[in-house]
Structures are given as C-alpha cells and as structure tokens.
Amino acid sequence: MRTTVGEAVRLPDRRTTPALLALCAFAVMASLPVVLLWGFAGGSSALTEPIRPSIAAEDATDLQPVWRAVTARHAGFDVDAPRWRPLGQEVSLFRRSDGLAREVFRFGLAEDSRRHAALVIDRSDIPAATPAADLGAVLAELGLSATLNANPLPLATKFGPMATADMTLESEESSKSCLAFALRDGDAGIRLSGWVCNGGPEIVSRQDASCFVDRLFTVGVRDAAIAALFARAELARLPCPAATTPAASPVVSDRGGRPMPLRLNRL
C-alpha cells in the first residue's frame, strides 16, 4: 500500500486503548476459572491415585487382639482347692481388646519340679475350635511351651464330660506329665480349660483332675446362663475322697454330720 508524503496517518483514538485493555483483562478473567478447574481436576486425580491402594491395604490388614492385665479384682469365679493351695496360688485377670474376659488360677509353677495345676475361664463370643486348638491357644497366650497329644477318654466332671489331652511340660530338672482338659458351653458363652501335672513323668490321676475341676465355683456372676450352668453342675457334682494329708478332714456341716447343701459361692 502506497502512502504519499502529503497524506496524514490516522492514529487510534485515545478512547480505544482503555477499551482494548479492558477487553484483554476480561478475556483473562474469563479463562481463569477454566484453567483452575483443569488444574484442580488433574491435581486431585494425581493426589487420590496413590491413596486408594494404601486404604485398601489397611482394610486388608488383620489386626490381632491384644491382651492386657486387669489390676482390680472383679472376678466372677474362684477355686477352693485345699490340696493344691500349699503349692502357692496365683490369680490373674485379663481383658482382650475384642472383649474377651479371662480369669486364670495357677497352683505351683510350671517350670519347677513340683506338681502344678491351672484353670482358665474365658467369657465372650469365642470362635468355634477343637479342644486341642483351644488348649494350644491358651498355652501359647500364657507363654507356656508344651506338647499335646489328644486323648480319646473324656474327663468326668460336674460340668459333664470334658475333652482331654496328654500334655508334657518341660521343667528345670525334668519333664512333667500332665492331663489337660477343655470344655465349651455356647449358650453360656464360656470356655473352661486347664491341666493337672505331676512333678515327674508319672501318669496323672483322673480322679485328682476331676476333683480339681469340681472345685471351681461362681462368686457373684450376674449372667443368668452361667448361673444356670453352675447350678446344674452342682446338682451333678460327686463327692471327692478325703485328702491324705494329716491336717485334712472330710467337710461336713454342723447339723449332725449331714452333707452340706449345694454350694454356688464360697462358704
């Protein structure tokens, strides 16, 4: 395009410049939400991608219940075992993080060369398992190493027949021969397990084991199903022979030597 010297060049009007600036600012402001929306969508997907696998991994993790000792004694049971008490009696209460309550009664030590006996009472909704699995779990949770062999002969107790297993505990000097036993009552939500051990490899007397189990009784349990279980057990309880120690004597009432009434609590 040719321009002669004499022609005047027309410059933009002064009002045009502010209008152009305003138009550019409007275009920038209009495009800003689009840019932010795109960035947020891209950034959120980048942030959420690594989180999802970690959440799934946490859900898949099987957390094991944790035991803790209970210092205050709010026991629901007790064991009146005069034959075993001279060995020393230890009572422990535990609570598991999933709600399982446990009371442990131990007489003597599992590690020395003397006799030893224990009763373990668990209360809660306990998953079904075989008696051998129950005994193995209890021994492991109490920190005891033992060898278990299932015994086909049940143990006669006031609670009914209890499954048994021949058990061996290693002591400081030798091994202890034990008879272990276990029983579940799903209606009462209770599991009874325990063992009776000699000081050496001699076979355990089943009569001694039965009498030991029958010495378990309640002390203020408010659960109706458990109370009914122990009431039926007391009706089925058979008398144990008198102890052979000189200090022991048959337990009779002060009413002309007649048998004592049914006992649900400590006398």
Q: Does 264 reside within a domain?
A: no
Domain for residue 88, yes or no? yes
More confident residue, 65 or 122: 122
**Amino acid letter, residue 122:** D
- Note the pLDDT of residue 80: 93
pLDDT the model gives residue 45 = 45
Is 157 within the bounds of a domain?
yes
Does residue 223 sit within a domain? yes
Distances in Å between the Cα of 123 and the Cα atoms of 172, 184, 226 are 33, 10, 10
**Structure tokens, 163:** 């499954």
User: Domain span at residue 146?
Assistant: 76-236
Q: Is the pLDDT of residue 11 over 70?
A: no
Q: Which amino acid is at 124?
A: S
pTM over 0.85: no
Beta bridge partner(s), residue 107: 89, 117
Of 101-110, 182-191, 211-220, 253-262, the one with minimum mean pLDDT is 253-262
Is residue 38 assigned to a domain? no
Residues pairing with 53 in the sheet: none
Q: 135 near 193, Cβ under 8 Å?
A: yes
What would the mean pLDDT of 156-184 be, rounded to a whole number? 91
Averaged over 15-36, what is the pLDDT?
Answer: 61
Question: Which of 188, 218, 168, 193 has the alpha carbon at shortest distance from 106?
Answer: 193
Return phi, psi of residue 96, to 5°: -95, 155
Q: Residue 19 has what pLDDT?
A: 60
What's the confidence (pLDDT) of residue 112? 87
**Percentage of the chain exceeding pLDDT 70:** 65
- Per DSSP, what are the bridge partners of residue 162? 155
Q: Which residue has the tokens 């309880």?
A: 237
- Asked whether residue 106 is domain-assigned, the answer is yes
- pLDDT, tens only, 192-226: 999 999 998 999 999 999 999 999 999 878 889 99
Give 88 or 4, the one with higher predicted confidence: 88
The predicted pLDDT at position 148 comes to: 94
E strand intervals along the chain: 67-69, 77-79, 89-96, 101-107, 116-123, 146-157, 160-170, 175-185, 190-197, 216-218
Residue whose pair of structure tokens reads 């060898």 in the numeric block: 147
Per-residue pLDDT at 187: 87
190 domain-assigned: yes
Q: What is the CATH number of the domain that holds 148?
A: 3.40.1000
Enclosing H/E stretch for 44: helix 16-60
Residue 168 lies in a domain: yes
The three state secondary structure string of 81-134 is: CCCCHHHCEEEEEEEECCCCEEEEEEECCCCCCCCEEEEEEEECCCCCCCHHHH
- Condensed to tens digits (0 to 9), the pLDDT of residues 98-157 reads 888 899 999 999 988 899 999 999 998 778 889 999 999 999 999 998 999 999 999 999
Q: What is the model's pLDDT at position 251?
A: 37
DSSP H/E element including 34: helix 16-60
Q: How far apart are the first and last CA of the chain?
A: 126
For residues 45-51, average pLDDT = 44
d(CA 58, CA 167): 39
Domain count, the chain: 1
Residue-level pLDDT at 222: 84
